[in-house]
Amino acid sequence: MEDATGGALRADARRNRERLLVAAHAVFSERGADASLNDVAKRAEVGIGTLYRHFESREALLAATCDEQLLTLAKQSRERSEALPPLEALRVFLAELVHSAGMYKGLAASLGIVLKNHTKGCDATTAEGQRLLETAQRAGEVRGDILLDDVVCMAMAISLAAAEDGADPKRVPRLTGMFFDGLRSRPEPRGARHR
């Protein structure tokens, strides 16, 4: 895991941490989530040792880099959801999660891991997702057997599928919509077999 953001870091340490996060975002955006960490360090004009002191693994760096984005996602979702019906709120949340997972090519494969890091953004996002899901389930709009982890996995998976080279750009909305239909409580389609 990475250093606590609010910790009592020395001024140079805090500056370097900031530079690393900026560089990581740039490099991951350009070259994907499996880019060389040496490149990240170079871009930040910092030694590789410094990178590893601040972020003990690629996952930790990824998690920290995504953290702010996730915080924003959670916050916006909370605000928006007040004015939306439960199902719709969940739908938008799912769409944004898919989008987030596609932020860096290859991120999706590690997003599950990322979301298990207990940084602020991750916790906020999972809490918000949980809330939306439960609300929609209590309203009878979504199947009761679904777990938040399922939703996260599928968001990640759809994003991953979309990242394939030469993929149809319509694929993401198509798959997202399809998955979403599957989430919904079915009006007891008789003869439809159970899963």
Partner DNA sequence: TGCGAAACGGAGGATAGCTCCGTATTTAAC
Partner DNA sequence: GTTAAATACGGAGCTATCCTCCGTTTCGCA
* Alpha carbon of residue 37 to chain centroid: 21
Which option in DNA, a second copy, none does residue 182 bind, with CB closer than 5 to 8 A by kind?
Answer: a second copy
Distance in Å, CB of 53 to a second copy, minimum: 26
Instruction: Examine residue 11 and tell whether it contacts DNA (CB under 7 A).
Output: yes
Distance CA 73, CA 123 (A): 12
166: its two tokens: 């030469």
Helix locations, the chain, DSSP H: 11-31, 37-43, 48-54, 58-81, 86-101, 108-114, 120-138, 148-163, 171-183
Distance in Å, CB of 32 to a second copy, minimum: 13
Distance in Å, CB of 163 to a second copy, minimum: 10
Cβ atoms of 94 and 176 closer than 8 Å: yes
Under the rule (CB under 8 A), what is the footprint of a second copy? 91, 109, 112, 143, 145-147, 149-150, 153-154, 156-158, 160-161, 164, 167-168, 171, 173-184, 186-195
Q: Which residues bind DNA (CB under 7 A)?
A: 9-13, 15-17, 34, 36-38, 45-50, 52-54, 56-58
